[in-house]
Amino acid sequence: MKLLSSLLLVCLTLVSSFSNALERFSDLPYDGTTTLFTIHGSNTIGAALAPNLVKEYLVQKGAEQIETLETGVENEKIIRGVVRNSRTIVEVVIEAHGSGTGFKGLDSQQADIAAASRPAKDKEANLLKHKADMRAPESEHIVGIDGLAIIVHPQNPIHTLSVDQIAGIFAGDYQNWSELGGNPGQINVYARDDKSGTWDSFKGMVLGKQSSLIETAERFESNDELSDRVSADAQGIGFVGLASVRQSKLVAVSDGTAKALLPNKLTVATEDYALARRLYMYTAGVSANAYVNEFLNFVLENSGQKIVADTGFISQELMAVMPETYAELPQDFRDITANAERLTINFRFKEGSAKLDNKALKDVERLVQYLKTNNTNEIVLIGFGDKKKTEERARLLSKLRAMAVRRELVRNGIYPKESVGYGEYLPVASINRSEGRMKNRRVEVWLRDGAAIATAE
């Protein structure tokens, strides 16, 4: 009986410590309703991820009786809870009509947070420049990583497509599956609607400025509805967020000469997958609403990132995995990484700059925390780049990027064992696109001795 009581006490203590991760609600009007904040924007985020994050945030703040209320308007909902001490109802309003609507909501002050499944466009940054710099770290918050999944019917024999082939399919250049090595039959194209950040990402990463979507494509506001339609159509193909694959079949994607990869924990978290994308929440600088700032801090820390993973996206919580795609690299590279695991992180840089981008700045903090809490003897930083006039110049620039990451770690008391550069080897994206060249300019983190191993799924 004493053992049972002790175990119960331990469990209650753990629950209490978890619940007290955030300061409990206080100073609320008695027996009233308080709207804490509003989120407008991306359906990819607003359909499930934002509601799940808000629910856990409210739980940790001490709210009870958490429920989701439908407003009667499609893709709009209210997450509501009750604060027992004051009998106050607290709620967060979510309207998920596409990434572009989030920035308009920030401008009109109808939204406190703009959810976006792609970075702010120049016109959106200009729209809000009177309020804040939308590309500054205090405005742009990367909350997770999504893999833009190319999906077909489960019985479709196609396993791999290049970005160029996918563009051709969605532009109507390919009309029959037999043209791509599949079974004869008309290709039926399904796409997200033009308010969607998923569509913006697909258009930017796949169609570009040279191609337009075929007019016969059926459009959807919801990822899940599109996926269900593809899984019921033997001739169908579509694109959705990784969390919405459902019963459809994933296709591996290659870009240029890069190896075809399926989206998984490693390939998406490192953004090596050709169609990986970041998920954002934007504010107009540091919000005047304390609940907004507290919520975003919760989302970016491990407790919030666990919700990101549970929802089906790729979290930014670090883990070590054993990769399988490096056999074609030089022998000295294989020697450096022998019996080593790779962290699910890549450091990338601002466009045209050697400065770490906003995600990388936060990732430095995550990496330092990980390394200080995990028994790892040796850290290896490996820089890669894009093609330059000479191979030696490409190698030099890639090593300088690795050294830039090393400097940030040294400032935090972490001393990598090696910092090397491999230039243009192992591109992850096409060198013919500016976005691809930026993705190739990266620094990988490898761990030797004492790193925990996990299998990429």
Q: What is the pLDDT of residue 325?
A: 55
Q: What is the pLDDT of residue 3?
A: 38
Q: What is the pLDDT of residue 336?
A: 87
Q: What is the pLDDT of residue 452?
A: 41
Residue-wise pLDDT for 25-53, tens only, equals 987 887 789 999 999 999 989 989 999 99
Same domain flag for 27 and 131: yes
Q: Would you say residue 115 lies in a domain? A: yes
Both tokens of 276, joined, read 């990986």
Domain end, chosen from 289, 310, 331, is at 310
Q: What is the pLDDT of residue 453?
A: 41
Q: What is the pLDDT of residue 328?
A: 67
Q: Would you say residue 127 lies in a domain? A: yes
Same domain flag for 74 and 91: yes
* Spatial CB neighbours of 86, under 8 Å, sequence gap ≥ 6: 25, 28, 29, 30, 31
Q: What is the pLDDT of residue 312?
A: 82
Helix (H, G, I), strand (E, B) or coil at 233: coil
Same domain flag for 439 and 363: yes
Q: Would you say residue 356 lies in a domain? A: yes
Q: Would you say residue 274 lies in a domain? A: no
Between CA 364 and CA 359 the distance in angstroms is: 9
Q: Would you say residue 366 lies in a domain? A: yes
Both tokens of 122, joined, read 């120049």
Same domain flag for 364 and 396: yes
Same domain flag for 137 and 285: yes
Same domain flag for 125 and 164: no
Secondary structure (DSSP) of 234-259: TTEEEEE-GGG-TTSEE-EEE-TTSP
CATH code of 111's domain: 3.40.190.10
Q: What is the pLDDT of residue 21?
A: 65
- Residue 235 belongs to what domain range? 149-262
Residues 50/39, Cβ–Cβ less than 8 Å:
yes
Q: Would you say residue 182 lies in a domain? A: yes
Task: Write the single-letter amino acid at 49.
Answer: L
What average pLDDT does the structure give for the chain?
Answer: 88
Q: What is the pLDDT of residue 358?
A: 93
Q: What is the pLDDT of residue 425?
A: 80
Task: Write the single-letter amino acid at 70.
Answer: E
Same domain flag for 26 and 122: yes
Same domain flag for 324 and 442: yes
Same domain flag for 329 and 232: no
How many folded domains does the chain comprise? 3
Residues 333/318, Cβ–Cβ less than 8 Å:
no
User: Quick one: which H or E segment has residue 351?
Assistant: none
Same domain flag for 159 and 251: yes
Dihedral angle, C-alpha 362, 363, 366, 367, nearest 10 °: -140
Q: What is the pLDDT of residue 327?
A: 61
Q: What is the pLDDT of residue 326?
A: 56
Distance of CA 275 to the CA centre of its chain: 11
Low-confidence ranges of the chain (pLDDT < 70): 1-21, 324-329, 352, 432-434, 450-457
CATH code of 416's domain: 3.30.1330.60
Same domain flag for 286 and 236: no
- The CA–CA distances, whole Å, from 437 to 86, 430, 431 equal 55, 7, 5
Q: Would you say residue 456 lies in a domain? A: no
Is the C-alpha dihedral spanning 309, 339, 251, 162 positive or negative?
Answer: positive
Please, is 129 exposed, middle or buried when counting C-beta atoms within 10 Å of its C-beta (0-12, 13-18, 19+)?
Answer: exposed
Both tokens of 429, joined, read 């994206």
Q: Would you say residue 99 lies in a domain? A: yes
Both tokens of 255, joined, read 């870009």
Helix (H, G, I), strand (E, B) or coil at 345: strand
pTM to 2 decimals? 0.80
Residues 450/389, Cβ–Cβ less than 8 Å:
no
Residue-wise pLDDT for 147-163, tens only, equals 899 999 999 999 999 99
Residues 277/451, Cβ–Cβ less than 8 Å:
no
The strand pairing partners of 219, in sequence order, are 191
Task: Give, as one character, the DSSP assignment of residue 49.
Answer: I
How many Cβ atoms sit within 10 Å of the Cβ of residue 243?
Answer: 23
3-state secondary structure labels for all residues of 141-162: EEEEEEECEEEECCCCCCCEEE
In which region does residue 3 sit, left (phi positive, over 0), alpha (psi from -120 to 50) or beta (all else)? alpha
| Pairing relationship of beta strands 113-116 and 276-282 according to DSSP bridges | antiparallel
| Pairing relationship of beta strands 418-421 and 64-70 according to DSSP bridges | unpaired
Same domain flag for 289 and 331: no
